[in-house]
């Protein structure tokens, strides 16, 4: 099948480095998410992006460099989405509900992020370690969550002594694991856990677990 050329429109320059680079990143995200780093193929990325294979090496160095760029872009995506959350202008319980809802919806809408994280952990975060932006990928939500928990404690709604980092990890874990392992869980338990009623039940359950935990102790 003849290769799709990018600059097919008459009024577009034949060379557009930003567009070429973005197209490669996009195709690479899909390929790495679908096959993992080890199973992804450079030639398939090249074909899907419409860019010559040489260009992958021209812009990203090598396959692993491309993978790191994909990962950084993925992190930038979730951080950007997190910034749009408004959590501090509502009551603490509602803040936590929103955070849970955001986390669940984000993972649901971005299964490629889950897959990329799994790949990166298989490789022991060796790519992130090379990244100059790793620490900047940290989530400012931890501090925000700390403020929410402190406010909830002062209002006598939440229990004392909750570690915001642990809670953040737990909220992520409760959502992530279900979606990341959706295939084996569905297979083992003989149910389609990806279907709507099951997903809705899962979100409600996660919310109950977290809010139940946060409830002030007698």
Partner DNA sequence: CGGTAAACTAACTAGATAGTTAATTATTTC
Partner DNA sequence: GAAATAATTAACTATCTAGTTAGTTTACCG
By C-beta, is 1 or 14 nearer to DNA?
A: 14
By C-beta, is 24 or 193 nearer to DNA?
A: 24
Query: What torsion do the CA atoms of 97, 71, 55, 5 make, to the nearest 10 degrees?
Result: -20
Question: In this chain, which of 125, 146, 150, 164 binds a copy of itself, going by CB under 8 A?
Answer: 125
Tell me: does residue 30 bind a copy of itself (CB under 8 A).
no
Give the residue among 69, 74, 176 at the shortest CA–CA distance from 127: 69
Count the neighbouring beta carbons within 10 Å of the beta carbon of residue 198.
15
Question: In this chain, which of 121, 154, 155, 195 binds a copy of itself, going by CB under 8 A?
Answer: 121
Minimum gap (Å) between residue 93 Cβ and DNA? 48
CA distance 202 to 197: 9
Contacts 24+ apart (CB under 8 A), 49-57: 49/20, 49/23, 49/24, 50/3, 50/4, 50/5, 50/6, 50/23, 51/6, 51/20, 51/23, 51/24, 55/20, 55/24, 56/24, 56/28
Tell me, rounded to whole angstroms, the distance of Cα 130 from its chain centroid.
19
- Residues 137-196 interacting with a copy of itself (rule: CB under 8 A): 137-139, 142, 159, 163, 165-166, 169-170, 172-174, 176-178, 180-190
- Residues 15-74 interacting with DNA (rule: CB under 7 A): 15-17, 19-20, 40-43, 51-55, 57-58, 62-64
By C-beta, is 17 or 213 nearer to a copy of itself?
A: 213
- Residues 33-62 interacting with a copy of itself (rule: CB under 8 A): 35-40
Among DNA, a copy of itself, none, residue 22 binds (CB under 5-8 Å by kind) = none
By C-beta, is 1 or 135 nearer to DNA?
A: 1
Cβ-contact 206, 104 below 8 angstroms: yes
By C-beta, is 108 or 125 nearer to a copy of itself?
A: 125
The single-letter DSSP state of residue 218 is -
């Amino acid at each position: 099948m003849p290769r799709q050329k990018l600059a097919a429109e008459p009024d577009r320059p034949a060379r557009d480095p930003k567009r070429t680079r973005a197209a490669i990143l996009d195709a690479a995200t899909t390929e790495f998410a679908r096959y993992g780093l080890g199973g992804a193929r450079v030639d398939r990325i090249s074909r899907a992006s419409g860019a010559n294979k040489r260009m992958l090496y021209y812009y990203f160095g090598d396959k692993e460099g491309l993978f790191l760029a994909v990962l950084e872009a993925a992190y930038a995506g979730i951080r950007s989405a997190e910034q749009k959350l408004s959590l501090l202008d509502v009551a603490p319980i509602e803040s936590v509900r929103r955070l849970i809802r955001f986390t669940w919806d984000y993972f649901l809408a971005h299964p490629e992020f889950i897959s990329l994280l799994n790949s990166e952990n298989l490789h022991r975060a060796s790519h992130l370690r090379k990244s100059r932006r790793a620490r900047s990928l940290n989530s400012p939500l931890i501090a925000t969550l700390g403020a929410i928990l402190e406010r909830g404690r002062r209002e006598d709604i939440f229990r004392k002594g909750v570690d915001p980092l642990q809670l953040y990890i737990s909220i992520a874990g409760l959502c992530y694991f279900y979606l990341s392992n959706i295939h084996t869980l569905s297979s083992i338990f003989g149910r389609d856990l990806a279907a709507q009623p099951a997903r809705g039940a899962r979100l409600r359950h996660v919310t109950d677990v977290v809010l139940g935990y946060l409830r002030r102790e007698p």
